[in-house]
């Protein structure tokens, strides 16, 4: 069991990067509002301590350092109403794809859109509950699955539908794996705080307009079922991320379609965790992040 309850990774005002246990005002649960945190020393997945040292937050970063992330597994079509809007039958098994670690970014980073993804309309948003694995897991029974979870974050599985569907050869990763297309955070709330991940409100706002509003209760495969299934013959490691699919309301499922464009601001929110806010930024040819 971790010593912290709300993990953030942040750039402090002294210029150093820390893991910390967020200090929030009474009654506030949005980790995006973290202004200070108690510094954590040690291995967040192993032996560590929350110290008495408090540092002011200059900028919240992606909740896990790049070296602490193992794999990024993602589920597709995992909300009943989303499968319905896509005109597809409910999957018999979880629909799995992977994102590269280079797609991960922080809770306020811009979403960079390479010129190759600017050619056609199709840039879409997807709010998702992100599960962070905290302990090595293999062949885990559903009844014990949550014991292997460190905590939860909110993420945006940014997708380009043309590259995902028409040009992907049946594989989704090409249209979902561009650099910076998986912003998540604003931190990680542990299972001691969020005891039931199937009761959480989840939503997306595009330029201030609510475009997705649902509850994780609509998931076809719950967090417990997902971990039990994915660990069958496959070892899940501390630092593995599982993105658990998006609810209905995506731009692809609307009539007319609603695609993100240069300069748009997209917010994804999860009850008990907070808000991730990112601005879409079309890059020029040859630009580097």
Is 32 within a domain?
A: yes
Q: 149 pLDDT exceeds 80? A: yes
Span 171-175, average pLDDT: 86
Are 56 and 81 in a shared domain?
A: no
Instruction: Work out the number of other CB atoms within 10 angstroms of the CB of residue 263.
Output: 10
pLDDT at 84: 87
Residue 59, token pair as written in the block: 């900028």
Is 224 within a domain?
A: yes
Domain count for the chain: 2
Last residue in a domain, options 18, 35, 60: 60
Query: What integer best gives the mean pLDDT of the chain?
Result: 96
Span 197-205, average pLDDT: 98
Are 16 and 88 in a shared domain?
A: no
**pTM beyond 0.75:** yes
Are 24 and 136 in a shared domain?
A: no
Is 55 within a domain?
A: yes
Is 268 within a domain?
A: yes
Is 261 within a domain?
A: yes
Are 120 and 234 in a shared domain?
A: yes
Is 288 within a domain?
A: no
CATH code of the domain covering residue 80:
3.90.850.10
Is 287 within a domain?
A: no
Instruction: Work out the number of other CB atoms within 10 angstroms of the CB of residue 79.
Output: 27
Are 73 and 53 in a shared domain?
A: no
Phi, psi of 72 (to 5 degrees): -125, 95
Are 228 and 259 in a shared domain?
A: yes
Contacts of 68 (CB under 8 A, 6+ apart): 44, 45, 239
Are 29 and 167 in a shared domain?
A: no
Are 100 and 138 in a shared domain?
A: yes
Are 52 and 76 in a shared domain?
A: no
Is 1 within a domain?
A: no
Q: Which domain holds residue 79?
A: 66-282
Residue 148, token pair as written in the block: 């292997």
Are 272 and 130 in a shared domain?
A: yes
Q: 119 pLDDT exceeds 90? A: no
Last residue in a domain, options 15, 37, 60: 60
Which tens digits make up the pLDDT trace of 5-59?
Answer: 999 999 999 999 999 999 999 999 999 999 999 999 999 999 999 999 999 999 9
Are 153 and 34 in a shared domain?
A: no
Are 43 and 147 in a shared domain?
A: no
pLDDT at 216: 98
pLDDT at 58: 98
Instruction: Work out the number of other CB atoms within 10 angstroms of the CB of residue 87.
Output: 7
Last residue in a domain, options 25, 41, 60: 60
Distance, in Å, from the CA atom of 162 to the CA atom of 257, rounded to the nearest integer, reads 13
């Amino acid at each position: 069991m971790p010593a912290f309850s709300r993990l953030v990774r942040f750039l402090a005002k002294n210029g150093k990067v820390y893991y910390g246990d967020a200090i929030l005002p009474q009654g506030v649960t949005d980790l995006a509002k973290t202004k200070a945190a108690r510094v954590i020393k040690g291995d967040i997945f192993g032996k560590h301590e929350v110290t008495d040292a408090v540092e002011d937050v200059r900028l919240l970063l992606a909740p896990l350092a790049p070296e602490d992330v193992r794999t990024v597994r993602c589920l597709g079509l995992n909300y009943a109403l989303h499968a319905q809007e896509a005109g597809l039958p409910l999957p018999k098994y979880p629909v799995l794809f992977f994102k590269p670690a280079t797609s991960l970014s922080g809770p306020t980073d811009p979403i960079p859109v390479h010129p190759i993804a600017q050619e056609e309309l199709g840039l879409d948003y997807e709010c998702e509950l992100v599960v962070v694995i905290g302990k090595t897991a293999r062949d885990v029974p559903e009844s014990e699955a949550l014991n292997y979870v460190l905590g939860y974050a909110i993420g945006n599985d940014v997708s380009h539908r043309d590259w995902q569907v028409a040009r992907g050869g049946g594989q989704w990763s090409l249209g979902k794996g561009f650099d910076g297309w998986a912003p998540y955070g604003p931190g990680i709330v542990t299972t001691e705080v969020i005891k039931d991940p199937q009761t959480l409100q989840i939503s997306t706002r595009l330029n201030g307009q609510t475009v997705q509003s649902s509850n994780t209760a609509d998931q076809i495969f719950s967090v417990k079922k997902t971990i039990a299934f994915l660990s069958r013959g496959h070892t899940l490691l501390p630092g593995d991320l599982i993105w658990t699919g998006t609810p209905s309301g995506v731009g692809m499922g609307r009539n007319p379609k609603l695609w993100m464009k240069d300069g748009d601001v997209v917010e994804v929110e999860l009850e008990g965790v907070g808000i991730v806010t990112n601005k879409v930024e079309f890059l020029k040819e040859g630009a580097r992040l």
